[in-house]
Each structure stands twice: as structure tokens, then as C-alpha cells.
A and B are shown apart, each in its own frame.
Chain A
């Protein structure tokens, strides 16, 4: 019973649904508005531990936790050969497992699931190129870099750069900039003289 009430609260509080109750269609001019938006992306391990969470809709921490918990349970319960798409609440969930990590995206009703799979794949390729044969531990110990790479590939839930090379180049440059900002200090810190 309580879960049901909380469920409704989540939908009501999502501003992208604020215009129409519940659904994602705004009837205008006689036809439905097609909404394409990635609402969030989650990375989690096979034990259900969260490794990355990127939210493109405003939700309270409590709501995020609840969604994460439920979704992780649902996806982990799927058998290996099953479809990569599932309908969950009123969203479409696209997920794919790479080694020990599940990459999970929530997209809206009219979005193209297959291209979302490609987006996930592109992100994995970027991580792979950056870390050199990426594994889960890389993402655990360098989580902030995983975020930086994601933010260079997706912006506001949409792909901003479709060329792999350009994304990696930008990250490289940004990293260099960070090095420069840190270098004068870090040497001293390492010797313990700060």
C-alpha cells in the first residue's frame, strides 16, 4: 500500500510530467507530442552495487534511491537471453551487461530503443579507450573520470558529439588543464611539505 502511494508521488513530482498528469503526451494541434529524453543512466554491478548514477530529471534523494533499488532488482532478475528492453512504470528501460557491469538507461515512450543501445555501446567504447581495456575496478577507483567522460559524450541526456575521436580529444585536453592546475601543489604534497 505504502509503495503505491510513493509511486504516485514520484510521477507527480517529475516536472516533465507536470503539464499532464501521469502520461507523457501533450495533445496539441490534434496529434501527440513525441517526447524523446533520457531520464537517467545507472551503472551497477551484479551484486547490485551502484557504480555511477546520472540523473537528468530533478528528484529528491529519497526518490532516486527508491527508483534505483527497484530498477536494480528488476534488471538483475532478468535471465541472460532476455530482451534488452523492458517496460517499467511508464518508462522504457534499455539495459546491457558488459562483463560484470549493467548499463541501464531510462528513456521516454517514443524514443528509439535501438539507438539507445548504441549510445550505451559508444560510452563503453569511450571508457575502454580511455582506461585501456576498462574493467569494473577502473570505474570504481576513478569514478569521477567516468563522469567526466560521460559529460563529454552526453549533455542533458542527449548525445553532444558523435565522433569518438573528438570526445577523447576533449577529455585529454581537459585532463591536461587539470594537471596544470594541480602540478605546482601536488609535488609538494607528495613529499609531505604542505
Chain B
């Protein structure tokens, strides 16, 4: 085909422009000429002009004045003009432009043109930019073309129908019959189009899906033909016969075989054959294998086939080609929940991929490694993850840090290891950890009373070397304030003790206070820690007094307030000082409030500022001050000490301090369990439900039963039923008797796994014996609190 001379001249002119300004000049001139030409009557160069305009458009210059010209060109009888006109329509007119409606009639006419290349132009344009209205108008035409035309047009009509169905789902009904008959054609293009169309129809409508299940044997036949047949020069790619068609058929089989035993059985042999016979030395073979693996893992395949699929993924993991490794990990990620053991076998390779150069591969490897951590491999995995953390790209650090915390929380083999790990993360990536890390760590430390000495020594040493990582400094200050006496005692079983004097310790805290690297909250920690030491050291109390009074005039209001209050503690309330600043009690682990995600809003009624658990005694002190002093003994109640939920929640939970609640009474206020729903309440028997998301598809449901009647209940059992695809595992209940008047409760944990993410429902059967008679009742639970749907 001869090139368009005017077009090429213009392109040359534009390219020879040496500056942007020059280029703009050339383009402006050309556009002016083009505009003038458009206004003239029909001349021979119309297609060239439009082509020029399209080039200019691709360079990024405005070309909307060409829209009407496109419409006119499409209506022209000449093929050359139609061709460029349709191209222009696809580039300049999309469904948002009003002008696009104007071409509907032209398209309609061209669809019935006697020349197949003109029909082809219309079909291509409709499939590329057809709006919903245009699709509705022209759908019957497309259906006609699907039935009564040559292969060239049929294959295009099929894909055009796909576009129509995507735009207007209801029109799928129209094409179902035609699609079915197209499957029997010989032409690969037509069969390919038919398979794509059927896939689209089945995805949109479950009834259609049922109907097309019958085609599974036909599809298997076609596929077999492709796999076994000899060399076909037309469709061969590196020894694979028509890989594009193979992949589409496999995909359709996947959709038809999902959740259906019969269909899955029918395709078992074929999938095994494809999996074993496909040559995997080139990308194209791997593409087919990949699709096969995805299909096997998604349908109800027999276990042997599943193992075969996972092994293929394992082989992919060892492939030299980075692309193949990447997609292997993507696929393994999808099945790590359900086929955990199979994936575990490849853990070594996956962990090696953490060291890959490519950021995408690293990300995949990280996700998968975190999913593979278990109680048995925690130590070795953690070593790898920690070394990854020190060298990983910055965008992955936060995710790695929280993944490590999660894993440590679940599988820590010992407390000391747990604390060490968290400290390691704080020293390496302190800036990227979440806000809750500090209170969580403090809670952990407080609860590990035997390691207080060890912890404070470690933190002291860490503080000596580096005071820039704020979370670490905050925890260190808190510890030194709490356990400074252990530090000064100079003996420690777990680690080599430091020989420090009181001055050394106070020096460190003062450095933190004065350093420009310390954030305001860190300085708050340091000041409070200094204050606490006043009861734990013997000689340098005066020094503390002077530090505290200096900060009484600090510009930072928070620090100033604290300093003033501590001053007051020294002066007027010296008799209370020892009691106020005594050791914190063991903080109760708030396990009932353990839910990740959105539902955190519904959590505890008693809220305490996280990160400053040592505040409450002093706050109470202030309140009492406001009230004019009180003789009440200041017992820091456990409730006050409770902090936000222990584990890194996915949403940063900044819970504000609720002083009024503290004021309301110094008795421990019970923390309301998060999002509990009463699912059954009858005859004095109440069953409540709370749930906790463990992973993407895993859920732990806790059922609690209580009895408020006057007589004891015996033989209390709960049975549960869930939808078919959900896996259920009931743990042993805490007991089977409910004493009267709610003296004790029975709890039962149920672990659910919902890999297909179906709408979760549970039917609960409650049976018990009360006053000699057996009672049985059923209740259906349709919504689960805290699932965030």
C-alpha cells in the first residue's frame, strides 16, 4: 500500500523541529490548514488530512475539531475514507462525546454492507468504543451476523458481542444460542471468539453457566485435538498448537468446573494430559501450563491432579526466568491458605527470592514468606525476615515490620525471643513501625516479669548507642523509669550487667530530653521516667527535682504541665509520691477485643491513651487535685492500665483518653468484648457470638452461653452448620453445664475457613436439659459482626 505522502511530509516537518516551540509552530500551521480543508467541500485529500490530524493528536495536541470530520468520513462511500474515518472515531470519539451517537446509523449501514472489509471496520469500531445505547441498538444486527455470514465476519461478530455483553449485561440472553452453535466450527478464529463469548456469558449469568456446562465434553474434545494433533503450520507457536485458543478454553473450563463435581471430573484427564505433555522450555508453553495450573486449583480436582499443579508451580519457582518465578509466587499466594503443606515444601526457594533484585519479585516473596511462617519454622524464618528488613526497599519496610510483629505474636517460642525480635525491628526500622507498637511492646514487657532485668539492660545499651529511633527511645525510657532500680543493682542473670551509677542513668534521660531528635511525646516519656526514678534511686533525688523544676517553664505545654505536676508531687504531696510512682501492675491482655480492621470503632468503653500507660496514676492525681484532694488510696486499677488491643491492628487506632470514665469510679471497668451479638435468647438461655478475622478467609467465632434461670442446665451442646464451600472446625467447648443465675458461662470456639468468600451464614442447634426435660432449638445467623462487609 502506498504511503500517504502529505502525511509523511508533515511528520518529517514536525520531527525536524529542533525545539518544542518550533514544533508547536509547525503543528499550529498544519492544524490551521487541516481546519480549512475540512471546511471545504469534498476533495481528494480528505483521508490524508484526517490522518495528519490523528498524528497531531497522538503527539498530545487538541484535535476535537476533527470529530465531525470523522463522522462525515465514516459516511463516505469510499473505503479509504471510511478506513481513516473509523480509525479517527476510535481515537477521538469515545462514548462520552455526543458526536459518537451520530455514527450509530453509519455503523448500522456498514454492518450490512456487501463488502466484508467494510463490515469489519464497523464491527471493530463498535467493539472498541460502542456505548451502551449503541450496543442496544445494534445487538440484533450482531446476532444476525453471528449466524449467517462467513468465518471472517463471524469471529469479529463474536468479539463484538462480548463487548456488548460487557456493556449491557442483559443482552447476553440474545447471543446464547448463536454462541453455542459457533463452537462446532472449524475455523480457529471463530472458535476462539465463541469461547470468549461463552466465557463472558457464563460469568454474567449463573443460569447460562448451568446451560453451558453441557459443552464441557465438546471443549475437552477440541482441546485434545489441539494438544495431540500434529504440527499445524498456521497456528503453531514454538511447538504448541494455537496457544491462544488453548488458554481460552482452559479458562472457560475453569469457570464451568468451579463448584461442580461432575464437570470437574469430566476435565480431569484432559488437564492431566496438558499438564504433563506441554513443553515448558519456552514462555508460550509456560503460559499454557500456567493457565492449566490456575484451572486445576480452582475446580474440584482430585488430589493427585492438585499435587501435580503445585509441583508445576514449584518447578516454575526454580526457573531462570524472573517472570516465571513471579507468577509462580502469585499463584502460590492464592493457595497458601488451602494447600498450606504443599506450599511449605517450597519455602526454601521462596525465601531465596527475598534476595532477588527485582522489587516485584521481592514483594511477592515477602507476602508468601509471611504466610508460610509457622510454629515449627519461626526461628529460621525470622532470621531471614530480619535480614530482609535491613536491606529491603523502603516501600516494603512497613509491611515487613508489621508482618514480623504478627508472626512473632503468634509463634514466639519464648518471651525473651519475642522481646529480642521486637527490639531488633525497632533498631533496624524504627521509623516504619505502626503507632501501636510502643504500647504493645510495653505491655509485653510488663507481662514478662522475669525478664525485666534483661529487658532494661538491653534497652539501656540500645539507648546509649542511638537515640534517633523514636519508638525504641520511648520504650527504653519507659523501661528505665519503671525498672531503673534493677539496672542500678548491677546484677542480671540473662545478660551481662552494666555497671552504672545513678548519674549515668539520669544523664541518658537528660540527653533524650534535650536532644533535637526527640519528638515531643518522646520527651514526655523521658520526663516521666526521670520522675519515676525519684522513688527508685537513693542519692540523686535533688538532681531529679532540679530537672523537673526546669521543665516547669518549658515552651512545650505538655512538658510544662507534667513538670508542674511533678513539682507539686515533690512539694505538697510528697507523702503520696512513693505510692503514685510505684511499679505498674501486670497489664491484662485484652484478648476479647481482638479484632482487626473496621470494627475497632465499637470497642472498649474505657479508653486510655496508648503509649503513655504510666500516665493514669498521675492523671488520677490531677483529678483528685481538682476535686480538692481525696484520701482515697490510689490503686492504679487494671482497667486504667489497659491499652489498645495488643496486636498491630490494620487501622491505626488512636484512642483518646477518657478522663470522665476514670473519674466515674476507680473500680476496674469491665472492657466490653468487641462486637458481640446475641444470637439466641429464650427461656433464660442466652447465646452470644463474637468473631475475629484471622486471615483473608479465616475466621474464629466464639460462642458464649449463659443461663439466667433459677435452675442448673446440664448437657448443653452447640452444633453448627455452614454453607457447603465453607470449612468448619469446632473446638472443644469449655464445658457442658450452665449453673443457675449466670454463675458461669460456657464458651465454644469455632474456626471457619471461607476460601470462596461466600456469604457467610451459620445454623446453630442448641440442645440442653433443664429441670429434667430436654430442649432443642435452632437458630440461623445471617450476619456476623465485625466482618466489615
**A and B pair up:** yes
Q: Which residues of A contact B (CB under 8 A)?
A: 15-16, 27-37, 50-56, 58-60, 65, 79, 81-87, 112-115, 117-119, 122, 140-145, 147-148, 151-152, 155-156, 158-166, 170, 173-182, 185-186, 188-189, 194
* B313 shortest CB reach to chain A, Å: 13
Q: Kindly list 10 other residue pairs between chains A and B, CB separation below 8 angstroms, not including A51-B58, A85-B323, A115-B291.
A: A15-B167, A31-B258, A34-B255, A54-B128, A65-B60, A112-B251, A114-B327, A162-B192, A170-B117, A178-B79
Whether B323 pairs with A60 at a CB distance below 8 angstroms is: no
- Least CB distance, B202 to chain A, in whole angstroms: 10
Instruction: Give chain B's interface residue range (CB within 8 Å of chain A).
Output: 35 or more
Binary interface profile of B, 80-104, with partner A (CB < 8 Å = 1, else 0)?
1101100100100011100000000
Q: How far is the CA of A150 from the CA of B497 in the complex (A)?
A: 74
Q: Would you give the shortest CB distance from A81 to chain B, in whole angstroms? A: 7
Do A112 and B247 have beta carbons less than 8 Å apart?
yes
Q: How far is the CB of B382 from chain A (nearest CB, A)?
A: 27
- Asked if B54 contacts A158 (CB within 8 A), the reply is no
Residues of A within 8 A of B159 (CB): 155-156, 158, 160
Complex contacts, B259 vs chain A, CB 8 Å: 30-31
| Binding stretch for chain A, among B237-245, B433-441, B671-679 | B237-245
Say yes or no: is B595 at the interface (Cβ < 8 Å to chain A). Answer: no
* Pick from B55, B60, B160: contact of A156, CB under 8 Å: B160
Taken residue by residue from 200 to 229, chain B's Cβ proximity to chain A (1 for < 8 Å, 0 otherwise) reads as 000110100000000000000000000000
- Among A51, A119, A161, which residue has the most Cβ atoms of chain B within 10 A? A161
Whether A30 pairs with B759 at a CB distance below 8 angstroms is yes
Q: Are B196 and A158 interface neighbours, CB within 8 A?
A: yes
Residues of B180-208 at the interface with A, using a CB-CB cut-off of 8 Å, are 188-189, 192-193, 196, 199, 203-204, 206
Give complex CA distance A27, B206 in Å: 12
B284 interfacial by beta-carbon distance below 8 Å: yes
Q: How far is the CA of A160 from the CA of B234 in the complex (A)?
A: 14
B277 CB, nearest partner CB in chain A, Å = 18
Task: Tell me, rounded to whole Å, the shortest Cβ–Cβ distance linking B20 to chain A.
Answer: 12
Contact yes or no, A173 B117, CB < 8 A: yes
- Which of A147, A163, A189 lies in contact with B235, CB distance below 8 A? A163
Contact A143 B58 (CB under 8 A): yes
Question: Do the beta carbons of A148 and B83 come within 8 Å of each other?
Answer: yes
23 pairs, A vs B, C-beta closer than 8 Å: A15-B167, A30-B725, A32-B756, A81-B357, A87-B360, A113-B327, A114-B283, A115-B247, A117-B287, A140-B11, A148-B83, A156-B128, A159-B192, A160-B156, A160-B159, A162-B235, A163-B188, A163-B234, A174-B120, A177-B117, A178-B1, A182-B47, A194-B43
Of the candidates B78, B129, B155, B322, the one whose C-beta lies within 8 Å of that of A82 is B322
Take A36-B251, A155-B124 as given contacts and tell me if A189 and B326 are in contact as well, using a CB distance cutoff of 8 Å: no
At the interface, yes or no: B429 with Cβ under 8 Å from chain A? no
On chain A, the residues within 8 Å of B2 by CB distance are: 179, 182, 186
Contacts of A36 in B (CB 8 A): 199, 251
A58-B44 in contact (CB<8A): no
Return chain B residues, CB-CB under 8 Å to A142.
3
- A162 near B244 (CB under 8 angstroms)? yes
Question: When the two chains form their complex, are residues B127 and A155 in contact, meaning their CB atoms are under 8 A apart?
Answer: yes
A83:B361 contact, CB within 8 angstroms: yes
For A118, give its contact among B3, B47, B123, B243 (CB under 8 Å).
B243
Q: What's the Cα separation between A112 and B43 when bound, in Å?
A: 48
Contacts of B243 in A (CB 8 A): 115, 118
Please name all residues of chain A whose beta carbon is closer than 8 Å to the beta carbon of B22 when the two chains form the complex: none
* Interfacial chain A residues near B115, Cβ < 8 Å: 177
User: Which of chain B's residues has its CB closest to A111's CB?
Assistant: B251
Closest 3 CB pairs of A and B: A156-B127, A114-B287, A30-B758
Contact B756–A31 (Cβ < 8 Å): yes
Min CB distance A56 to B, Å, is 6
User: Please, how many angstroms separate the alpha-carbon atoms of A122 and B247 in the complex?
Assistant: 15
Instruction: Give chain B residues whose Cβ lies under 8 Å from the Cβ of A83.
Output: 322-323, 326, 358, 360-361
Which DSSP category, helix, strand, loop or mixed, fits chain B's interface?
helix
Question: Would A31 and B757 count as touching, CB distance under 8 A?
Answer: yes
**Residues of chain A lying within 8 A (CB to CB) of residue B11:** 140-141
The one of B189, B287, B294, B360 in contact with A160, judged by C-beta atoms closer than 8 angstroms, is: B189
A20 vs B514: C-alpha distance in the bound complex, in angstroms? 53
In the complex, A118→B359 CA distance in Å? 23
CA distance A181 to B46 in the complex (A): 13
List the B side residues contacting A84 at CB < 8 Å.
Answer: 323
Contacts of B15 in A (CB 8 A): 140
- Which residue of chain B is the closest to A180 with respect to CB atoms? B79
Please give the distance in Å from B476's CB to the nearest CB on chain A: 36
Which residues on A sit within 8 Å (CB–CB) of B206?
A: 28-29
- Please tell me if the beta carbons of A189 and B44 are within 8 angstroms of each other in the complex: yes
- Which B-chain residue is minimally distant from A116 (CB atoms)? B287
Question: Given the interface contacts A148-B83, A163-B188, does A158 sit within 8 Å of B162 by beta carbon?
Answer: yes
In whole angstroms, what is the CA distance A33 to B204 when docked?
8
The reply to whether A165 and B156 contact each other, CB–CB distance below 8 Å, is no
Q: How far is the CA of A164 from the CA of B243 in the complex (A)?
A: 13
Instruction: Find out whether the CB atom of A144 lies under 8 angstroms from the CB atom of B1.
Output: no
The listed residue (A27, A51, A178) touching B83 by CB distance below 8 A is A178
Report the minimal beta-carbon distance from B400 to chain A, rounded to whole angstroms: 17
> Does B393 count as interface, using CB distance less than 8 angstroms?
no
Q: Which residue of chain B lies nearest to A84 when distances are taken between CB atoms in the complex?
A: B323
Residue of A27, A29, A51, A178 with most chain B CB atoms under a 10 A cut-off: A178
Residues of A within 8 A of B244 (CB): 115, 118-119, 159, 162
A60–B234 contact, CB under 8 A?
no
> Is B290 in the interface zone, CB < 8 Å from A?
yes
A54: chain B residues at CB < 8 Å are 90, 128
Task: Tell me if B286 counts as interface (CB < 8 A to partner A).
Answer: yes
A58 and B95 contact, CB distance less than 8 A: yes
Q: Which residue of B lies closest to A16 (CB)?
A: B166
CA distance A193 to B189 in the complex (A): 45
A77 to chain B, nearest CB (A): 11
Shortest beta-carbon distance from A79 to chain B in Å: 8
- Whether the pair A151, B124 counts as a contact (CB closer than 8 A) is yes
Would A86 and B286 be within 8 Å (CB), given that A163-B234, A189-B45 are in contact? no
B188 adjacent to A162 (CB under 8 Å): yes
Nearest-neighbor residue (CB-CB) of A94 within chain B? B323
Judge whether A115 and B287 touch: CB under 8 Å: yes
Interface string of B124-161 (1 = CB under 8 A from A): 10011101000000000000000000001001100110
Give the chain B neighbours of A16 by CB distance below 8 A.
166
* Residues of chain A with a CB closer than 8 A to B55's CB: 143
Return chain B residues, CB-CB under 8 Å to A144: 4, 7, 51, 54, 84, 87
Assess the A58–B129 pair: CB atoms within 8 A.
Answer: yes
Interface: B783 (CB within 8 A) = no
Which partner residue on chain B sits nearest A79 by CB separation?
A: B357
One of A35, A37, A112, A177 near B287 (C-beta < 8 A) = A112
| B163, CB-defined interface residue at 8 Å | yes
- A140 to B59: give the CA distance in the assembly, Å: 11
- Report Cα–Cα, A130/B736, bound state, in Å: 80
Q: Indicate if B8 sits at the interface (CB-CB under 8 A).
A: yes
Q: A79: which B residues are within 8 A, CB to CB?
A: 357
CA distance A182 to B758 in the complex (A): 60
A53 to B15, CA, bound (A): 19
- Does any Cβ of A come within 8 Å of B715's Cβ? no
Chain B, 318-335, CB within 8 A of any chain A CB: 322-324, 326-327
Closest residue of chain B to A96, judged by CB? B323
Task: Decide if A182 touches B283 in the complex (CB within 8 Å).
Answer: no
Residues of B within 8 A of A50 (CB): 58-60
Whether B735 sits at the interface, judged by CB under 8 Å, is no
Q: Confirm or deny: B657 has a beta carbon within 8 angstroms of a beta carbon on chain A.
A: no
With a CB–CB cut-off of 8 A, which chain A residues contact B204? 33
Q: A31-B259, A144-B51, A181-B78 are in contact. Are A174 and B117 (CB under 8 A)?
A: yes
The answer to whether A177 touches B79 (Cβ under 8 A) is yes
B152 touches A170 (CB 8 A): yes
In whole angstroms, what is the CA distance A60 to B96 when docked? 8
A114-B290 contact given A50-B58, A65-B60, A189-B44, CB 8 Å threshold: yes
Interface string of B10-22 (1 = CB under 8 A from A): 0100010000000
**Which residues of chain B are within 8 angstroms of A160 by Cβ–Cβ distance?**
155-156, 159, 189, 192-193
